Amino acid sequence: MATSSLIADVTDNRPSNQEATVDLAGEGRTAASSGLKLFLWALAAASVLGFIGIAFRFINDGGRQEWGYYAATLAFMMTVFGGAPIVAIAPAIAKANWARPAARIASLASIATAMTALMMIPLLFKLPPLTVFSEALGDDIRRTSIWFDSPDYAPHFWNVLILLTLALAGLAMAYLMALPDFAAIRDHGSGWKQRWGKKLARGFHGRPQQWEWLKMRIGVTGAFYFAILLFANFTFSIDFAMSLVPGWKDAILPFYHTISSMQAGIAFTILGIWAARRWGGVSKYVGHEQMWSLGKLLLATTLLWFYFFYSSFIVFWYGRTATDTLTLKLLVSGPYIYVFWTVFLLAFIAPWWVMIWNKVRDSVWGPPIAATMVLIGLFFDRIRLYVASWSAEPDNLELAKLSMLEKMPDTVWPDVFDVFIMVGLPAFGLLGILLVTRLVPVVSLWEVQQSRLITKPIRFMRTHVMLVGKPD
Amino acid sequence: MVATNSVLGLYDNPDAGANAMDGLKSAGFPLGSFDVLTGTPYPEGAFGEYVPQHRLFRFPFFGAMVGLMLAILFTAGTQLAYPVITGGKPILAFFAMLIIAYELTMLGAVIATVVGIIFESRLPNLNLGAYDTRITEGYIGVVVECEDDRVEEARGVLQTAGALEIKTA
Amino acid sequence: MQQRRILDEFTINRELLRGNLNTPKWWLPTVLGLLVVVLFGFTLMGIMFNKGVGVTGLNRPVYWGLFITSFVFWVGISHAGIMISAILRLTQAEWRRPVTRAAELLTVFSLMTALFFPLIHAGRPWRIFYWITPFDFSRGIFPNPRSPLIWDPFAIGTYLTGSTLFLYVALLPDLGVLRDRTTGWKHSFYTVASLGWRGNPRQWRLQTVAGILLSALMLPIFVSVHSIVSWDFAVTPAVEGWHSTIFAPYFVIGAVHSGVSAVVTMMALMRWLWGWENYIRPEHFDALARLLIVVATGWLGFTFVELIFGVYSLEAPERALREMQMFTWPWNLLFLIFFLCAFAIPVPLWFFKRVRNNIAMMFWTSILVNIGMWLERFLIIVPGLARKQPFVFTWDSYTVSYLEWGLLLWSFAWVLMLMLLFSKFFPLIPLFETKESQLFTMDVKIGRANMPAVIRE
């Protein structure tokens, strides 16, 4: 017996397409509330402090180890903002319908990635050269690096290029994913929003060819973004951390960096959804289903964090060669042991224990709690990796060539300017994202509408189920 | 109360089966005393059936605990009973023990889950009661467990819904 | 996506129980042929136990050769099952349905085969119990859990037990179907094996929850197994090319690559041998090929990073090893074959829709992958050992003996034979999943277009 004879239509309580258009692109969008304005000003003030911090580092430069917190902050920003767009890409490839309302929040993180790429430029001047002339040997000595033959401008220029490519790919994807919404703002908005919508919609009127063109472009930029994200994590984690420490050879680090980037990106999206529901007036469009699905992904990536960490740890711990022991001491049990335990607790144990319960995952408050812990934990993780690396300056270059860390550096504590940087730069990134959301709806209108088109609540004999279309 | 009879009505389409379920409900047969038998997992509640609660999620925790304790016993016990230093590792090498502990914890969880699935499915129970082999061929069976005095009433309800055949066991 | 046919439960039973209720003509001769090879293999093992491991090509300094390579290879193949059935179950991918049972089965049988290799490699397999089980209370000698070699039996034991139980639980509804279709001793056997399955809502609900819960429990085990196998190598600093932190995920993704390819091989065989065109359709091969493109590219990324880090620290011995592995005869030839088979030939081909939907092409490319992946393991294990090491005073290569080749052949015949025996008594394609899929999928009309749709609870 064919299934279609067992099903019947039921009334659909979800907001209609017209309602959604009004809410997300038309009169439903009000001017910024006074609370939001205050928050934006606070972020701006924090950003200024951040730049003061950077300026002070330049004026009063006390050596490479003083730049560790700056590097860690940028690494953290790249981790979070670079990883978030994956939430917009991966479920789309797997044809998962639930992710649609969360895709916008995730893709907008690219704005902050672009800002991170620009803020990395000052740090490049502090990255040591690949080769140094040694008086004792009368020859150049090169430090370990993935740029084996030291091509011109390596690694400095290439890192900016890679990170900018990442940012551009992300921005292109975010723009393409917002294109139909700009058209909706053009048609239904008013004032400056409408003018911008008109400019940015580029004559999009929703003809089938235009949709085909758009879907194709989103797919290509998405795949490209994913590839370049892996590559950016690869070069960044090695050039800005591993290769600064003589003897640290850890092939899993780039993947560890990437997987924690995805973990952070998911956490960021969860918090974004929570904030958008709380203050953005979109609780009708995004919520429980997204939290539940993202919560599962957060749990999975949290477990993977431990897996990648342990895979590297056990090899060093068993190896017990001099460099193995020194690496473990520098990154885990030595000057940053308390930082490490914070990471272990907040990036793994606590979110794992919170998210393992179905009741917590299945709520709108549980995943944000875990996400907050993950983000704090991963900030400490970047401090552990980058501050430690930037402090490990070899006194003796000949020893550095032997791949041996000569002496264990002391713990580097942040001064007040480091605190400015750690607070100010992420605030600056967040400010950029929030300003853009004044124009771009935080929930993608066309994806909500498409989702409504291809899913339908139905009655199946005596029960209610959802019919989900799987377009090719 | 011990159910003494099981009466089965066989239907060739799901709607008729659902009607039979409705009929039994309105005839006042207690929830849980009648059940629908299908050869395919239908969406939950498709027949308006009583959806039983289960406690499957407790089983893996219990199994994991047992597995973990066995692992600690094995790893710590063997190392303490035969304390030879190898590879420069401490006698109670935590990071090595962790690996075995992980495996045995998971093993305990899986075994307990499978035991839980069988137990919560109320299996094994080789006495099928009233049953028809056509159920695994697409027919729908509606089975009622009742006392002698309600057998006729049950048969009536099942018949009204359009049963092809009614069996009693 | 329009390849799906609407089938009733009666037809599904008749077609999918073809191998169980009416034995195909080719079945008995094939099983007997395989049995001959299997017996030959057991004879070879007997010869080896009698004469000692000297009859193999293993010698100083290469103590790990074809047996350990094949062990890693078969553990790798076993990663197919859980990858397919657990991940696809959790992501609710509709196309998983005809594939799950065969994939789980491949897990169970390839693990059973993998277990043989370290046992026979030890030369005196019965003595292995000394270092796994704590039973020698009289002498007070106990296993050493600090040794990575003892982690393997625990990991593989857990994985084997878990996947066997997983397979059995998902088999319960189908055993009920077989019980209803058989008579005599077979009926009695299926009655007991199905534990009295009736198909009431409670049992179906538990079946669904079990699929999800067991998948979630099996996934972390699946990841740990090949990681632990990789640590047999990676925690050893003395052998160049082994002491790398990337080994665990690198082995896991390699295993998924070879395992999913093995599932493709097997599905093609199932379609051809039992004529299941209605169930194993080109769209399934297409989906698996897309999955394989992603997996293979990920695997290539890991391979690339592994090589980069091989030479990262520019240590002379490590570089010399890489040079030998990739550029010195005969290793360079093996390396070339490995790379062509595991990636360069199949993956570009899979980019073409015509190849993805062509079952013969998918069959041959998936076999290429597994030739390549076997060589990958060989190239990881042997060259590192063949070079001069600290504490080892010889430097020699390794020639595989005929006996070892014979046992490699045995392993394939053994897995195939077990599969065919299974197919005689149990359905290879899950009946209830197929029926559920018929119930849960349909085409809906949107405007003038037909779109496949799925029911979600």
Note if the pTM is more than 0.90: yes
Q: What is the pLDDT of residue A60?
A: 87
Q: What is the C-alpha separation between C156 and C230, in angstroms, rounded?
A: 13
Q: Average pLDDT in the C259-280 region?
A: 93
Q: What is the pLDDT of residue A8?
A: 87
Does position A134 have pLDDT exceeding 90, yes or no? no
Give the DSSP letter string of C74-88.
HHHHTHHHHIIIIIH
Residue of chain A whose Cα is closest to the Cα of B97? A314
Count CA within 13 A, CB hemisphere, residue A469: 16
Give residue C298's domain range: 9-454
Alpha-carbon dihedral A330, A332, A336, A340, rounded to 10 degrees: 150
ipTM comes to 0.94
Residue of chain A whose Cα is closest to the Cα of C220? A303
Q: What is the pLDDT of residue A305?
A: 97
Q: Looking at the domain assignment, is residue C440 inside a domain?
A: yes
Q: Average pLDDT in the B137-159 region?
A: 90
Sign, CA torsion A131/A137/A139/A144? negative
Percent pLDDT > 90 in chain B is 58
Average pLDDT, chain C: 91
Two tokens at A319?
């190896």
Question: What is the nearest CA distance from B23 to chain C, expressed in angstroms?
Answer: 18
Task: Give domain limits for chain A.
Answer: 14-24+39-468
Average pLDDT, chain B: 90
Q: Do C235 and A1 touch (CB under 8 A)?
A: no
Q: Average pLDDT in the A10-21 region?
A: 88
Q: Do B18 and A463 touch (CB under 8 A)?
A: no
Q: Average pLDDT in the C373-394 region?
A: 85
Q: Looking at the domain assignment, is residue C383 inside a domain?
A: yes
Residue of chain C whose Cα is closest to the Cα of B84? C144
Q: What is the C-alpha separation between C260 and C366, in angstroms, rounded?
A: 8
CB pairs < 8 Å spanning B and C = 193
Which chain A residues are Cβ-neighbours of B18 within 8 angstroms?
Answer: 461-462
Beta strands in A130-286 (DSSP E): 131-134, 139-142
Residue A420: exposure state from Cβ atoms within 10 A (0-12, 13-18, ≥19):
buried
Q: Average pLDDT in the B45-58 region?
A: 87
Q: What is the pLDDT of residue A402?
A: 61
Beta strands in C113-220 (DSSP E): none
Which residue from C195, C202, C438 is facing B118, i.e. has the nearest CB? Answer: C195
Q: Do C217 and B109 touch (CB under 8 A)?
A: yes
* Residue of C87, C266, C85 whose CA lies nearest to C170: C85
Q: Among residues 242-261 of chain C, which lie with CB inside 8 Å of chain A?
A: 243-249
pLDDT digits (tens, 9 = 90+) for C28-85: 999 999 999 999 999 999 999 999 999 999 988 888 999 999 999 999 999 887 778 8
Q: What is the pLDDT of residue A2?
A: 64
Helix (H) or strand (E) holding B141: strand B140-146
Among C91, C246, C300, the residue to mutate for chain A (most A Cβ within 10 A): C246
Q: Do B14 and A463 touch (CB under 8 A)?
A: no
Q: Average pLDDT in the B140-144 region?
A: 93
Q: What is the pLDDT of residue C19?
A: 84
Amino acid at the residue A433: I
Does position C200 have pLDDT exceeding 50, yes or no? yes
- How far, in whole angstroms, is CA A299 from its chain's centroid? 16
Q: What is the pLDDT of residue A28?
A: 76
Which chain B residues are Cβ-neighbours of A314 within 8 angstroms?
Answer: 95, 99
Percent pLDDT > 90 in chain A is 62
Q: Do A358 and B45 touch (CB under 8 A)?
A: no
Two tokens at A270?
């969860």
Q: What is the C-alpha separation between C79 and C108, in angstroms, rounded?
A: 10
Domains of chain C: total? 1
Q: What is the pLDDT of residue A177?
A: 94
Which chain C residues are Cβ-neighbours of B124 within 8 angstroms?
Answer: 195-196
Q: What is the pLDDT of residue A176?
A: 95
Q: Average pLDDT in the C413-428 region?
A: 95
Q: Do C197 and B123 touch (CB under 8 A)?
A: yes
Per-residue confidence at C3, pLDDT binned at 50, 70, 90? Answer: low
Q: Average pLDDT in the C383-389 region?
A: 82
Q: Looking at the domain assignment, is residue C4 inside a domain?
A: no
* Residue of B105, B101, B81, B99 whose CA lies nearest to B91: B81
Exposure string for C222-242, b = 16+ CB within 10 A, e = fewer: bbbbbbbbbbbbbbbbebbbb
Q: What is the C-alpha separation between A94 and A297, in angstroms, rounded?
A: 14
Residue of chain A whose Cα is closest to the Cα of B12? A1
Helix (H) or strand (E) holding A72: helix A68-83
Q: Average pLDDT in the A172-177 region?
A: 95
Residue of chain C whose Cα is closest to the Cα of A458? C455
Percent pLDDT > 70 in chain C is 98
pLDDT digits (tens, 9 = 90+) for A254-283: 999 999 999 999 999 999 999 999 888 888
pLDDT digits (tens, 9 = 90+) for C131-174: 888 888 888 889 999 999 999 999 999 999 999 999 999 999 99
Which chain C residues are Cβ-neighbours of A4 within 8 angstroms?
Answer: 442
Q: Average pLDDT in the C233-259 region?
A: 92
Q: Average pLDDT in the C177-186 region?
A: 93
> Is it true that the peptide bond before C134 is cis, omega within 30 degrees of 0?
no
**A45 vs C324, higher pLDDT:** A45
Does position A471 have pLDDT exceeding 80, yes or no? no
Residue of chain A whose Cα is closest to the Cα of B45? A463
Q: Do B95 and A313 touch (CB under 8 A)?
A: yes
Does position C417 have pLDDT exceeding 50, yes or no? yes
Which residue from B86, B103, B126 is facing C158, i.e. has the nearest CB? Answer: B103
Which chain A residues are Cβ-neighbours of C438 within 8 angstroms?
Answer: 3
Which chain B residues are Cβ-neighbours of A318 within 8 angstroms?
Answer: 87, 89
Q: Looking at the domain assignment, is residue C1 inside a domain?
A: no
Which residue from C198, C214, C440 is facing B37, i.e. has the nearest CB? Answer: C198
Q: Do C444 and A469 touch (CB under 8 A)?
A: yes
Q: Does C1 touch chain A (CB under 8 A)?
A: yes
Q: Do B82 and C157 touch (CB under 8 A)?
A: no
Amino acid at the residue B134: R
Q: Average pLDDT in the C324-338 region?
A: 92
Q: Do A249 and C312 touch (CB under 8 A)?
A: yes
Task: Give domain limits for chain B.
Answer: 5-52+128-168, 58-120
pLDDT digits (tens, 9 = 90+) for A197-230: 999 999 999 999 999 999 999 999 999 999 999 9
Per-residue confidence at A327, pLDDT binned at 50, 70, 90? Answer: very high
Q: Does B11 touch chain C (CB under 8 A)?
A: no
Q: What is the pLDDT of residue C1?
A: 43
Class of domain B5-52+128-168: alpha beta
Q: Average pLDDT in the A151-170 region?
A: 87
Per-residue confidence at C239, pLDDT binned at 50, 70, 90? Answer: confident
- Of A3-7, A158-162, C202-206, where does mean pLDDT reach its minimum? A3-7
Q: What is the CATH number of the domain that holds C366?
A: 1.20.1630.10
Residue of chain A whose Cα is closest to the Cα of C316? A402
Q: What is the C-alpha separation between C132 and C122, in angstroms, rounded?
A: 13
Number of Cβ within 10 Å of residue C190's Cβ equals 22
